[in-house]
Amino acid sequence: MIENLLVHVLMFGIRYTYWRNLVKSAKNPLDVQEKVLQAILRDNLSTQYGRTHNFDKISSYHQFAKQVPVITYEILRPYVVNQLSSGIPALTAEQPVMYATSSGTTGEPKYVPVVREELKRQKRYTALLTYSQYAFNPLAFSGKIWVMAASAVEGRFENGIPWGSASGFLYASMSPTIANKYLIPPEVFAIKDNSLKYDLILRLALAENNITYFSAANPTTLLRLCALANQQGDVLTEDIELGRFSREAELERDVRKAIQKMLKPNPNRAAELRRVFNSDRVATFSDLWPHIRLVSTWTGGNCSVTARSARTQLSTGTQMVELGYLSSEFCGTLTVDCNLPAGLPTISNYFFEFIEPDEWDAGSRKFRLIHQLEAGQDYYLVITTPSGLYRYFINDIVHAEGVYHNTPLIRFVQKGKGVTNITGEKLYESQLTEAMSGAEKHLDFHPDFYLMLADVERQTYHLYLEVNGMMENTAELATYLDNALSDLNIEYRTKRESGRLHPLEVILLKQGAGEKYRAHCIQSGQKDGQFKMVTLQYAHQCRFPFQTTQLVTVAI
């Protein structure tokens, strides 16, 4: 097949260009990081921010750390607004070509500047990730490629500059060599009505039997698609048989044009689907698409639970690999070994600083550089990017494990805000994840959704849980979690034993509660394609009305 031959040639080219450079950089991480920092400062020393912090007088990391403060987005927001409204180079000498959007701590969205060079960096990153996965499983690229992307342009500012998703922009502008392998036209991801968008995605995907690769940032997307396929199976199967999309009248003209050639009658595929949907069990992802060889998604942190649920939807012949540490602000790691959960920090693109959580919480600002990381240790991450984020505290905790040549590997653990403290216990989201993982094995159940809220007023934790069907042993689950958290966190044990922390509660939710929570978060400003579940929060900060979806409360 000519398309597969072209892909092979493309991968060969990436190996002997980008990949060789990556290996060279990984052998000299400190030297690479010093050059990256100096290039960022040199290119932006004439900006308002650069003049304020004397970029032109910085010749070493020590001076950089002394002169430039660690900041959050709200410190940068006035600079972003100034450059947007006036065109003055407030943050970057090069004018941004777009702004990536993300939810902010104040409720107002964050608009992260993206300069043209950053798009080129992310294009190289995508090429390297594709090569890594191709080298791991070439057959995954032999059929159709199904990637769940975001909308490239979600809106435009008054000056015409777009805001949306950098990854969506790259998806829409990929090379023709590989574009023909992709299943979903980029125009589809611009549909604002989520119900309509997912119905159309499923209509196109269900019509194709030979999908060999699937990628979505969050594994909940896979679960959602499978559930919707079972709900809409009859309608979509009939559409496939007749070569139509029953909701086509609701589509914009450019979307209808993009899918026109894909809406062909396919009675043979329709017959296959009817056999699957009419069987005596719920159709799994592998039932519907039996040839998928590779699934690329987030598998760590708080996605580990839903990744395990997604794994049950796949055949034993399908491999699930870590997509990498990605955010609206930057592409943090590259998965260089698909057998490992940790990835290579993108040291050729951005400047990294690390600090242990306990030191940060204690007020210390003594950061480590990439070559100073200790295996087995967690760190808060601070980044400096060519697109105007200078010593940016991203509020993410990463874990150092393994090494690639001379560069430590890291993996995302949790958002920093996934930490609660009612009476001094400082419970971490990663501890909850580990406790729930043990509970799943011990009690033999698989949660579809869970979230734990710290109730400061009542001095207790509420675990909201959705499972498929009724759960008889919720009291046992509550006891198990309480004991597991006590084992993982000595302060939690101390507060429980003293009575300062009351027994936790397990609250069962109705089916679909997790999807309603997700929809609520997206409506509140989070991006659908990059939705990150924070499974440990404060009750007073969570605005979702769980009381409307609960079944029963069980305390220890």
Model confidence pLDDT, tens digit, residues 132-148: 999 999 999 999 999 99
Does 300 fall in a domain? yes
- For residues 512 and 352, give the distance between their C-alpha atoms in angstroms, rounded to a whole number: 40
Confidence at residue 420, expressed as pLDDT on a 0 to 100 scale: 85
Q: Single out the residue in 393, 415, 437 at which a domain terminates.
A: 415
Does any domain span residue 332? Answer: no
Examine the pLDDT at 491 and tell me if it is beyond 90. no
Residue 403 CB coordination number (10 Å): 15
- Rounded to an integer, the average pLDDT of 11-16 is 94
> Which residue pairs from 173-182 have beta carbons closer than 8 angstroms and sit at least 24 positions apart in sequence?
175/10, 177/6, 177/7, 177/10, 178/6, 178/7, 178/10, 178/130, 178/145, 180/3, 181/3, 181/7, 181/141, 181/144, 181/145, 182/144, 182/145, 182/146, 182/147
91 and 122 together in one domain: no
Short-list 506, 337, 481, CA closest to 409: 337
Render 256-295 in DSSP notation, one character per residue: HHHHGGG----HHHHHHHHHHHTSSSPPPHHHH-TT--EE
- Examine the pLDDT at 32 and tell me if it is beyond 80: yes
Taking CA atoms, 312 is separated from 18, 286, 321, 380, 448, in Å, by 35, 9, 14, 33, 12
- Residue at 328 is within a domain: no
So what's the pLDDT on residue 530? 63
pLDDT above 90: residue 259: yes
Identify whether the C-beta of residue 112 lies closer than 8 Å to the C-beta of residue 101: yes
- Does 259 share its domain with 371? no
Q: What is the DSSP string of 476-537?
A: HHHHHHHHHHHHH-HHHHHHHHHTSSPPPEEEEE-TTHHHHHHHHHHHTT--STT-----EE
Residue 104: pLDDT band with limits 50, 70, 90? low
Do 295 and 149 lie in one domain? The reply is: yes
Highest mean pLDDT among 127-141, 175-189, 503-517: 127-141
* Residue 399 sits in the same domain as residue 449: no
Q: Assign 154 a pLDDT band (cuts: 50, 70, 90).
A: confident
State yes or no: pLDDT of 355 exceeds 90: yes
Q: What is the pLDDT of residue 390?
A: 98
- Quote the pLDDT of residue 549: 75
Please say if the pLDDT value at position 431 is more than 60: yes
Residue 397 in contact with residue 413, Cβ under 8 Å? yes
129 lies in the same domain as 46: no
CB 333 within 8 A of CB 324: yes
**In a shared domain, residues 390 and 530:** no
φ and ψ of 34, to 5 deg: -60, -40
Q: What is the pLDDT of residue 497?
A: 84
**Domain that residue 533 falls in:** 419-555
In a domain, 330, yes or no: no
pLDDT at 175 over 90: no
pLDDT in tens, 193-224: 888 999 999 999 999 999 999 999 888 889 88
Say what the pTM is: 0.83
* Lookup: tokens for 457: 């007023």
Amino acid 469: pLDDT: 67
Q: Which range scores top for mean pLDDT: 244-248, 427-431, 532-536, 547-551?
A: 244-248
Band of pLDDT at residue 300, cut at 50, 70 and 90? confident
Confidence label for 236 from pLDDT (cuts 50, 70 and 90): very high
Q: Is 338 within the bounds of a domain?
A: no
CA 242 to chain centroid: 37
pLDDT band at 103 (very low <50, low <70, confident <90, very high): low
Same domain, 372 and 461: no
Q: Same domain, yes or no, for 311 and 189?
A: yes
* pLDDT at residue number 242: 97
In a domain, 10, yes or no: no
The reply to whether 372 and 248 lie within a common domain is no
**pLDDT for res 534:** 86
User: Considering only 71-85, 496-510, 514-528, which range has the smallest mean pLDDT?
Assistant: 514-528
Closest listed residue to residue 302, CA positions, set 380, 363, 359, 220: 220
Do 382 and 440 fall within a single domain? no
Window from 42-51, 58-67, 75-84, 421-430 with minimum mean pLDDT? 421-430
Q: How many domains does the chain have?
A: 3
Question: Angle, nearest 10°, between helix axes 267-277 and 219-242?
Answer: 130
Q: Is residue 7 part of a domain?
A: no
Structure tokens at 292: 């998928």
Neighbours of 262 (CB within 10 A): 15
Q: 11-15, 303-307, 428-432: which range is least confident on average?
A: 303-307
Where does a domain end: 415, 448, 471? 415
Percent of the chain exceeding pLDDT 90 equals: 68
Q: What is the pLDDT of residue 294?
A: 98
Mean pLDDT score of the chain, rounded to an integer?
91
Place of tokens 């940032």: 217
Does residue 446 sit in the same domain as residue 464? yes
Residues 227 and 360 in one domain: no
Whether residue 57 contacts residue 67, with contact meaning beta carbons closer than 8 Å, is answered with yes
Residue bearing tokens 């009817």: 274
The last residue of a domain, from among 262, 289, 322: 322
User: Residue 553's pLDDT is what?
Assistant: 53
Band the pLDDT of 179: cuts 50, 70, 90. Answer: confident
Q: State the residue for tokens 């947007």.
A: 84
Residue 237 counted as domain residue? yes
Alpha helices in 111-165 (DSSP H): 116-136
- Percentage of residues in the chain with pLDDT exceeding 70? 97
Res 337: pLDDT: 97
CA distance 138 to 316: 17
